[in-house]
Structure 1
Amino acid sequence: MTFGEQPAYLRVAGDLRKKIVDGLLPPHTRLPSQARIREEYGVSDTVALEARKVLMAEGLVEGRSGSGTYVRERPDPRRIARSGFRPESGATPFRQEQADASARGTWESHSEQTAASGEIAERLAVRPGDRVMCTKYVFRDAGEAMMLSTSWEPLALTGRTPVMLPEEGPLGGMGVVERMAAIDVIVDNVTEEVGARPGLAEELLALGGVPGHVVLVIQRTFYASGRPVETADVVVPADRYRVAYHLPVK
Structure 2
Amino acid sequence: MAFGEQPAYLRVADDLRRKILSGAIAPHSRLPSQARIRREYGVSDTVALEARKVLMAEGLVEGRSGSGTYVRERPEPRRLARSGYRPREGEASPFRQEQADEDCKGTWEAESGQEPAPARIAARLRIPEGGRVMRTRYLYRTEGEPMMLSTSWEPLEVTGRSPVLLPEEGPLGGRGVVERMAAIGVVVDNVTEEVSARPGLAVETSLLGGVPGHVVMVVSRTYFASGRPVETADVVVPADRYRIAYHLPVR
Deviations 1:165-221 (A, max 9, x none): 111111111110111111111111101111111111111121111223221111100
Structure 1 counterpart of 2:182: 181
Over 4 Å off, 4+ runs: 97-101
Q: Equivalents in 1 of 2:92, 2:105: separation in Å?
A: 10
1:59 aligns with 2:59: yes
Q: Which residue of 1 aligns with 2:74?
A: 74
Q: Deviations over 1:110-167 (max 9, x none)?
A: 1100000000000100110000000011111111111111000000111111111111
Change (3 A) 1:104 1:223: farther
Change beyond 3 A, Cα 1:79–1:205: same
**Unmatched 5+ residue regions in structure 1?**
none
TM-score (norm 2): 0.94
Which secondary structure does the structure 2 equivalent of 1:205 belong to?
A: helix
Matching of residues 47-196 of structure 1 within 5 Å:
47-93=47-93, 95-96=94-95, 102=101, 104-196=105-197
The number of equivalent residue pairs is: 249
- Name the counterpart of 1:40: 40
Q: What's the counterpart of residue 231 of structure 1?
A: 232
Contact 1:81 1:100 in 2 (8 A): no
- Counterpart amino acid of residue 160 in structure 1: R
Counting aligned pairs with the same residue, the percent is 73
Equivalents in 1 of 2:95, 2:34: separation in Å? 48
What is the aligned partner in structure 1 of residue 2 from structure 2? 2
TM-score where L is the length of structure 1:
0.95
Q: Structure 1 104/92 Cα, relative in aligned 2: closer, same or farther at 3 Å?
A: farther
Unaligned 5+ segments in structure 2 are none
SS in 1 for 2:43: coil
The whole-number CA distance in structure 2 between the counterparts of 1:242 and 1:59 is 16
Deviation at 1:21, TM superposition (A): 0.7
Secondary structure of 2:79's counterpart equals strand
8 A Cα contact 1:9 1:50, kept in partner: yes
**Separation in 2 of the partners of 1:46 and 1:60?**
20
* Structure 1 contact 82–100 (Cα < 8 Å) conserved: no
Aligned to 1:197: 198
The one-letter amino acid of 2:183's match is A
For the aligned residues, what is the CA RMSD? 1.6
Q: Per-residue CA shift, 1:97-118, capped at 9, x if unaligned?
A: 7758735521111110000000
Distance 1:98 1:174, change over 3 A: closer
